Copies of this chain bind each other. A is one copy, B any other.
Amino acid sequence: MPETISAIGEFGLIKKVRAIIDSEGVRPEGLTLGAGDDAASFVPRPGYEVLVTCDAVLEGRHYLPGVITGCDLGRRAMTANISDIGAMGGAPRYALVSLGLRGETAVSEVEALYRGFLAGLNPLRACIIGGNVAESDFTFIDITLIGEIRQGMAVRRSGARPGDAVLLTGSTGRAAGGLQLLLRRSGDTGLSDNPLVRAYIAPSHRALLGQAAAATGYVTAMIDTSDGLAGDLAHICEESGAGADLFLEAIPLDEGLLEAARAFGLDPYGLVLGMSDDYELIMTCDPRRAQELQGIAAQQGVPLTVIGTITDSREINLVAPGGVKRRLDYAGWDHFRR
């Protein structure tokens, strides 16, 4: 029987967690006080703004228990937050992790979660500086991530202008395809190595490209695709008071996703445009700057594709090769709605 957190108690668990953070995490220079007091403290970098985001992951709502390991779950939850800081052009620095945990959860499972958090943070030289644990009827992970960016350089959703090019990193829909695979072939043990399933369970983020792109000053608006390509582009359009035309032929379509969609009789563009947790970035910029941004992306090995243009129409259209426009219904993932 594995040791449970009920057996070692809150303070016992915190001790174990802190040992992992201390021995396996990094300690940035500006950190003056880490976890363990009423609050943590850090000295902000002069000339920089502080960025803050938070995102929660709930068992049964945002992930399938039993399908994802503790380490993958922790990394995925952290990736969602890293992606948000990256979508502003910022560098993640300090995380706070608030957990709701069942008493019967194995201590090793919680340790694996923290190793997952650190797997997301360590490559960025970011660390965990605080948090909370509470007993709960189901597991939830709520992360607040603090980042920094040179003053005035943060890229908002609201700066897109008609005529701007719309660019997309990588390709979308792969996570949605992975989820479909998991739901439809739940018994298949070979699935864990499937690239689409990996895209769903262990997504990457584009925070480093977001930082480099924002630093050029050319990016007029940026967002990450956690509500799906169409839904998140809609956020940019709404905040910018604009619309967009997406060129169907230009939208990257992953080969594996195309195959899976065919096998399941699904519209591949439904997966590409709809709700999918891919954590890619959508950027807009003056079309004359697109190539320069693509060059920066290429240096990082990240595909960056011009997929459309910002318009003054207040709607998002999908433009087929012949020029036929179809207006998109772009409702993203909406909790609560039935």
Whether, in the assembled complex, A167 has its beta carbon less than 8 Å from a beta carbon of chain B, the answer is no
> How far is B134's CA from A157's CA once the two chains are assembled, in angstroms?
22
- B residues less than 8 Å from A96 (CB atoms): 52-54, 144
Instruction: Knowing A87-B38, A144-B96 are in contact, say whether A334-B134 is a contact too (CB < 8 A).
Output: no
Interface string of A265-302 (1 = CB under 8 A from B): 00000000000000000000000000000000000000
Contact A44 B50 (CB under 8 A): yes
> How far is B129's CA from A135's CA once the two chains are assembled, in angstroms?
27
A241 to chain B, nearest CB (A): 14
Instruction: Knowing A51-B39, A88-B38 are in contact, say whether A56-B100 is a contact too (CB < 8 A).
Output: yes
- B residues less than 8 Å from A9 (CB atoms): 334-337
Contact A336 B132 (CB under 8 A): no
Contact A39 B335 (CB under 8 A): no
Contact B37 A41 (CB under 8 A): no
Whether, in the assembled complex, A315 has its beta carbon less than 8 Å from a beta carbon of chain B, the answer is no
> How far is B86's CA from A48's CA once the two chains are assembled, in angstroms?
25
Instruction: Knowing A52-B96, A100-B56, A134-B58 are in contact, say whether A334-B40 is a contact too (CB < 8 A).
Output: no
- B residues less than 8 Å from A43 (CB atoms): 49-50, 151
Instruction: Knowing A44-B44, A136-B140, A142-B142 are in contact, say whether A98-B39 is a contact too (CB < 8 A).
Output: no
The total of chain A residues at the interface (CB under 8 A) is: 72
Whether, in the assembled complex, A103 has its beta carbon less than 8 Å from a beta carbon of chain B, the answer is yes
Interface string of A119-151 (1 = CB under 8 A from B): 000000000011111111110101010110101
- Interface set of A (CB-CB < 8 Å, partner B): 5-6, 8-11, 13, 32-33, 36-44, 46, 49-56, 58, 61-62, 83-85, 87-88, 90, 94, 96, 98, 100-101, 103, 129-138, 140, 142, 144, 146-147, 149, 151, 154, 156-158, 222-224, 239, 334-338
